[in-house]
Structures are given as structure tokens and as C-alpha cells.
Amino acid sequence: PGQRRRQERARGPVCKRSAEGSRRVMWSRFSAAGRRLQQLSHGRSTPFGQCLWRWRSSPANERALQYKVGDHIQGFTVNQVTPVPELFLTAVKLNHDKTGAKYLHVAREDSNNLFSVQFRTTPMDSTGVPHILEHTVLCGSQKYPVRDPFFKMLNRSLSTFMNAFTASDYTLYPFSTQNPKDFQNLLSVYLDAVFFPSLRHLDFWQEGWRLEHENPRDPQTPLTFKGVVFNEMKGAFTDNERVFSQHLQNHILPDHTYAVVSGGHPLKIPDLSWEQLKQFHASHYHPSNARFFTYGNFPLEQHLKQIHEEALTKFQKIEPNTDVPPQQLWDKPRECHVTCGTDSFAADPKKQTMVSVSYLLADITDVFETFTLNLLSSLLVGGPNSPFYKALIEAGLGTDFSPDVGFNGSTREAYFSVGLQGIAEENINTVKQIITRTIDEVIEDGFEEERIEALLHKIEIQMKHQSTSFGLSLTSYIASCWNHEGDPVNLLKFADKTAQFRECLKEDPYFLQRKVKQYFKDNPHQLTLSMSPDEGFYDKQAALEAAKLKEKVEALSEEEKKQTYEKGLELMDLQSKPQDTSCLPALKVSDIEPRIIFTELETSRTAEGVPVQYCAQPTNGVLYFRAVSSLNTLPEELRPYVPLFCSVITKMGCGALSYREQAQEIDLKTGGLSVSPHITVDDSHLDVYEQGVVFSSLCLDRNLPDMMRLWTEIFNVPHFEDEEHFKVLVKMTAQELSNGIPDSGHMYASIRASRTLTPAGELQEMFNGMEQVKLMKRIAEMPDIKPVLRKLPRIKKHLLNSDNLRCSVNATPQQIPQAAKAVEKFIKDIPRSKKERKPVRPYVVEKPSDSNTVEGGELTSAQITRKLITDPTFKPCQMKTHFLLPFPVNYISECVRTVPFTAADHASLRILARLMAAKFLHTEIREKGGAYGGGAQLSHNGIFTFYSYRDPNSIATLAAFEKAAEWAKAGQFTQQDIDEAKLAVFAAVDAPIAPSDKGMNQFL
């Protein structure tokens, strides 16, 4: 979780596949908790079109280029056709003649097609109306009057993504699928949901908020607040980073919609009425206020016809009046102080204050200015060579940058923020002085040319790297700018903007320094925000909630109390009643692709006997390198420190390079180097597992020798001397792990619950569980960190050599011969142990890769042999754990040891997990219990996991897990339920795999 948050904070317009949207102020229809629980992907897929990387031969682009400006198609008029060769796409912009709805189609030879519709939603209070509406429109519509067609469609489709997001000023409804019939089905459901929703009172009660008896069947029990969004937001407000980001946006843009919490503040949500919800829908969810987006290789005409006929013909044009006016600029800086809950995992309890200085920047519809400011922001805060890293992080005052550091382009005017978290309150002014001084120094000294080049290189790699969720990334990337009438196509022309940026630097060497002066030094619209913990914060919140509840209950007449009780019963009955879902469209099991695409792999051995797997793929001129090294010989006492070793080994310097020079070289020559622990349970035995470390990196073809030289230096001469820099890295890691708990509590609960069920479980807990969070907290608190630093060279001896190594390369066929030479040289240049080290655990099983596995292709005799660990004395045992955390919501997990992946029952259990989640647990945990998320799943490692996420209950949820097993035993499901579960499982099995990841199931 910590690493994931670090990546999220590195900003950039990237949307994760399991996105709950940006950390900032984005709220989603359902938690992606289930997907994030998946320890290992089961996905194998149909590849992207083989000609994706050859621009001219793409049928999707050729079709799009035939449209002409002024063409009339299915009620729409084409007003722009633009090829964007650097992203292999053609953009077609249209307008709907009758309603004025805007439409952008991005044609690209990609089988994972995406649709989204977005509405500008500008609430003026913190009742969470756009967020509750986003949940409620998906609870049934005119054409599909069933309860919650959205969740029902998850099991009737082969979608690769389905969700909905509420941002500060827009609401977005995206889905993606590779199946044309599925696309039409989902489009029909989404269109009807947003334009013709039922918006029933009981759905508002369930999804938003309601007063209900603690036991709905007993009117003598006290009334309490319940509701999915109500509990989701209570959970969100336990995340101090998110709270800080929310306050920052509210205070730097205080004049209009950005001054409120679009997701809803838990104390304000109960002020929202059903009438207000319906009014908000009528005024905001209209085609004249909508932006449609489609992406992929399906034909555009079919999309336009369906959208026009099923929705848009039923509307007339209106003036939506949802514009966000420009923020009135301040004439002098402002300051604001707020409080939050304490962090029980903070390294130093006396240092829990956060402070940042933020500056209002340009309007985001000025695309080139925004591009420049985004780059400038990266130069200021990105990596150990940036001026603010040197001045703030290395000053030793705090643990990490403040939340939302850098450029934020999600509001009409962008802003930049920089500061520290984990500081003592008395250091607030010192931090402000350092920020002012650093800005002066940057104006004076400017930036090194190499750092600018490294940044432009990063853009080049991002453009060439292909992800399977490219459509989702695009819709997220253009959403804010398009929302305020900016040109989304102009936003995609990276090559033009990069060329213009280079031109500006050439014409004026002080170009960037002038921008720093303009936007930072001479800008009075700046906000200093500080946030300190208050011991009684959660108690005060609870008291305010109790007062709100009392006020609401006392306002009820006897008759209204009776009606509240009766409505509670009515809602329970409705939730428990079986539904006729026959009106919903569905794919059949026969629509599942019957064959799995084979991935051709070649394996050969280097002169040193190290196996290397080669996978030729259309990677667009990018090469992907991975290696796995075994942990089998590592002494037991060093094992807990492996994750720390992984996180610092590429950041401490190597060979002749200091850590700053190393960071610069990594940015200039690669798309990043990463190292992480690797634990895989064997396919056929639950008590046998592999333990190791994965090294991974990517680079442009031309930089391959440089990338392999970096790895060689890291393996041969890593630096472990700089104690001060090590301290900085430790504090950052500890802070990230601690900040990650509110967002990933269900993952920590699941890892802990499975700890005693398999021998690998103990290691998972040590590396990825609460044990690791506590260990990092202890290390960060140490007055003398030398003893820990001295462990790293000892770990290096066991890990960084070619003894127990295997490598893999994904690259274009033309690049493979050159890659083979580079890998051969790397293996030759790194150390081999002089004497053979014995494994610490004596029971080692040697197992060759199965050449008949699905991804196998034809393997040569150079098979990869893994050295797996087993413990014949291991006995699984029961264990119950309760972590006391200062949050008003819970994260609950129960894990059951089942069977290995190759056992016949594994497939049945995987279907069962999906059945339980969709047909039983969703109703019990989310609809009745009010938790934000919950379900069941079977992982590759044979652990069957029940979980809940941001859950107001605890004992009741554990009882629901128990009842789910009883429900399954009683066989209370139909053949159709089983078929639907199969569709949901196969949507994951056949999920697309990027060229960079082909063959990885086999290799890892």
C-alpha cells in the first residue's frame, strides 16, 4: 500500500485499473477493495492487435480518418478529425445537433473498448449530493427497474472495468469491455441509468443516509444514522492525507463549488433531502451538460446510433448554467490551521503536524501553460535532485512531503503545493522560511539541463508504454480540462507541446525561472495550511454526530417515528426479496472465448547457466527487464528487513554514482528501477512456496546498455554508507505505510487472517502486513540507526549475485538479439558466490516450469527450475486478531485454507466465491449493513477470503461470513446464478494483458 500511495502522489494523469480515482477528492460507486486483494493476477488474455505499434496499418485509424468536418452521422455533426500519431490514435470530435451534447471518439487499434459519460456537477454545500446521486442513479431505471442493475451487470458481462466516480466538479461513468455485444448491453444500462433513473426513496435511504433502529425489527432499540455513502465518508475522513488535501482545496478556492466536500461531509450528509437529490439530477444530468467519450477499435456509427436513439432524442437543448466562475484572486497570502485524528503508527508521536504552502496557478484550459507548469512542478519536487527535496526532506524536520505535493490540475485553476508532514508544530515557520528561500534560489540558479532532459525522456517513455487500461487513462486525463470547455484533443498532442516547450527554452534560457517568479514569488494568492492532531478529535466528531442525531430524532413526531420504523422494515424486506432480473441484458457462457491465446516464450541459458525467458511482443520500442533472486540462503534474523532493503537499494547510490547522480541516471536512461519482495505459493501444494526478490525496469531500446550498466553497478557496488540519507528514506517509508492503513485496512486484515494457514502466510505478514508497519515505525524511532544499516550489506551478499537468479525480457522481435547480449554481459559482470551457500530451511524442492502451462508456448530444454521451500512439520492453526485503530469504521477479514490452484475444486471454489459475493454478501454487508465494500474471493494461493471495507459493523459482519457458508451449503442458488458467476470469473481470466506483461505468469 505504501508504494502504491507514493506512485499516486507522483501524480501525472494516470488512472489505476482498480481506481478509486485520485486520492484527492474523488469518490467512487464501489470500492475496488476486492480487486486490490488479489495477490496474484489470474489474467491471461487476447493480445492487443499485433500491428498496434505500426501506425499506418491500423484499420481503426483508417476508418476514423475517412470522416470529414461537417459530416452528419446519426444525429451528430463531425467538427474535428485529428490524427495523433505519437499515441497511435485518431480523435474525432462531434456535437449532437438537437441537444448540443459534446462527443469525443478516440479510434485506436485496441480491443479493450471504453465508454464514458461525464456531467459537470457543481454542488454548493457538503451534503454529498453529487456523490449520493452517483450511487442512486445506478439503483434502477425506467427500462431496467430492478434494484441495483449496476452490481447485477458485474455478473452478466465480460467487462474489464465498471465503476463511477464523483470528482469535485464532475461525475464520470466509465466501463470497458472487449466484446461488442457486451459493449451494447452495458451502454444501454448506463444510458438508462444516468438519463432515466428511478431515484426511489428507499434507494436514497440505502445509498445516502437514513434514520433506522439499531435493530430494524425492534422499535425499542435506539435510532441511528445508516447509509452506504455516510459510512464511506466516515471512513474517508479517517485518512489524514485525504483530510488535508480536502481542506487545501476548500481553502485555496473558497468562492464556489471547490469550497465544499463533493463526496459529502459525514456531519452534513443528513441535511440532504430526497427532493434535493431529484432536483440536482434534473438540473445537472442533461445531455446539454454531458460529455460522451468512446475509445477503441469498435465502429463509431454504432455507438452514435445507440446513444442518439436510446437517450438523446428524448431531450431538447437547455442552458445548463453549471459553469464554474474563475476564482477571485487574493491581494495577500492567507493562513489556515485545522485539526485531525492522531496517527497511532507515527514514528514520533510529538511530530504529527503537516504544513504546506500552496499557490494558485493558471486556468487548466490553457493547455500549454498547464503542460509547462506540470513540468516545472516535477522539476521542483520530483526526486532527490529537486530543490525542495534537498531543502525540505533532507533538512530532517519531517518524514515526507505534505499530502498533495506538486501540481494539482483537477480544478478549473490549477494549484501547486509544497510542504512537510511529520513535523513538530513549532517548526511550521521554519518550513515556510525554507520554502521562500528555495524559491529565491531557483529564480537565481534555474535548473540543470540534464534534469529537464530526464523529464522529457519520462514523457517519451510514458507515451510509448502500453497499458491495458489506456482508454480509462485517457478519459480520466481529459476529464477536468474538457469539463471547463478546454480542448481535449489539444491535450493529447504531447509531441507538439514538447516541441513548443523546447522552443521556449531555446528562445529564452530564463523561461522557467520567469515562471517561478510569476507564479510563486510574485503571486499573492498563496495559502499556508497547517494541520495538527488532536487527541480528542474522533471523540469530538462522535459527539457532534450524536448531537446531530439527537436533533434529527427530536424533530420527529410520534407519527414520523412510526413511519421511520415501518420504512426500515420495508427496506429490509426489499433487500431480502429475490428479484426478477430477466429485463437486464446478459451475455451467455457460450460468449466466453473458448480458447486461451498462447504466448510464445523462448528460454535459454547464459554461459553462467542462468535461465533467461524471452517474449517477443509489439512493445513499441520499449524493453522490459525482470529478474528474480532467491531468498533461500538468507539467515532468519535478516528476513524482516528484506522489504526495507528492496525499497532503498536503488536509492542509495552505486559504483561511482552518488545517490543524486544515480537518481538522475535512472530518470535519464530508464522508465524506473524497482525491487520488491516476491512470495509465490506453488500451483499444486499449499505448503510449498518460492521466496525471493523481483527486480524490474524498462527503457527505450536505445538506452538498454545504460540500463543494464545501472543494474550491474547496483549488484556489484551498492552504497550503504550514507546514514543521513538512509534515515530520510526510512522515515518516508514508515510514513507511507502508516498513511496507507485507512485506504488498505482490508488488505492488512486479510494478510493477518491468512498468516497461520500456510507456511508462506507468515512471510506475507512479515513482508506486507501490520508486522512490517510496526517494524518500520520502530526503526524510524531509533535514535541510532547504524545497527539496521549494517544489516543491508549482509542481505546483499545473499541476494545480489547470479547463484539463484533467473531473468526475463519482453521486447520487439528485432530487439531480442541485442537484449540477449546485454543480459549475457550483465550476468557475466555480476558476482557469483565462491562457495555454495546452504539454504537456511533444509527442505528445498526443485521444480521445473511446466512447459504445458497455458502461457507456455513451446519451451526448449532450457527450462526454468525453481528452488521451492517446504516445511513438513507445518500445521495450519486458527487465530483471531483484533487491531485497535482510532477509526470510526472497521475492516474485517476471515480466511479459510482450501485447495491449491491445480486441484479440481479450485475452479468450483472460485465460482463459489463470486456467487457468495454477488448473491449473498453484497446484500448483507453493503445493502443491509451499510459497509462501503465487502465480498469473498479465492486467491491463486488457495486462500479463500471473506472481507469488508469501511464497515460500521464487526460482529454482525463475521456472522454474515458464517451465514454465507450456510447459504451455499443449502444450495440457495440457481443454474443462472452459477452461469453469471462464471461470466464474472472469466472476465478476470480473459482480462487483457499488456505486451510488457505477457509471459509474466509463467516467469514469476
Q: Which residues are catalytic?
A: 134, 207
CA 483/CA 171 separation, integer angstroms: 10
Q: What does the alpha-carbon distance between residue 864 and residue 180 come to, in Å, rounded to a whole number?
A: 39
Q: Are 246 and 260 in contact (CB under 8 A)?
A: no
Helices (H), 621-722: 642-648, 659-669, 704-716
Residue 151: in which H helix or E strand, if any?
helix 149-153
Q: Do the bridges between strand 102-107 and strand 89-96 make them parallel or antiparallel, or are there none, so unpaired?
A: antiparallel
Distance CA 381, CA 393 (A): 10
C-alpha distances (whole Å) from 125 to each of 22, 129, 160, 196 are 21, 8, 35, 25
Sign of CA dihedral 247, 253, 258, 259: positive
Q: Where are the alpha helices (DSSP H) in 367-483?
A: 367-381, 387-391, 428-445, 449-464, 470-483
Point out which residues pair with 293 in neighbouring strands. Answer: 104, 116
Kindly state the DSSP code that residue 861 receives in the 8-state scheme: S
With beta carbons less than 8 A apart as the criterion, state whether 471 and 112 touch: yes
Distance, CA of 611 to CA of 599 (rounded, Å): 18
445 exposed, middle or buried (CB, 10 Å; 0-12, 13-18, 19+)? exposed
Q: With residue 489 as reference, give the H or E element that holds it.
A: helix 488-492
Residue with cell 517548526: 427
Task: Please report the sign of the dihedral spanned by the C-alpha atoms of residue 925, residue 928, residue 933, residue 935.
Answer: positive
C-alpha cell at 220: 425499542
C-alpha span between 196 and 103 (Å, rounded) = 20
Q: What does DSSP assign to residue 168? A: S
Residues in Cβ contact with 205 at an 8 Å cutoff, skipping those fewer than 6 apart:
227, 567, 571
Cβ(603)–Cβ(862) below 8 Å: yes
Q: CA 360, 123, 246: angle at the middle one, nearest 5?
A: 45
- C-alpha span between 209 and 269 (Å, rounded): 7
Torsion region of 406: left, alpha or beta (phi above 0 gives left; psi -120 to 50 gives alpha): left
Q: What CA–CA distance (Å, rounded) separates 573 from 426? A: 56
For the record, the C-alpha cell of 165 comes out as 466516480
Q: What's the rounded Cα separation, in Å, for the pair 384 and 661?
A: 9
Find out whether 489 and 349 touch, Cβ atoms under 8 Å: no
DSSP code of 395?
Answer: G
Q: Which neighbouring-strand residues pair with 28? A: 165
C-alpha cell belonging to residue 103: 462527443
CA-nearest of 325, 292, 299, 305 to 100 is 292
Q: What is the largest CA-CA distance in the chain?
A: 86
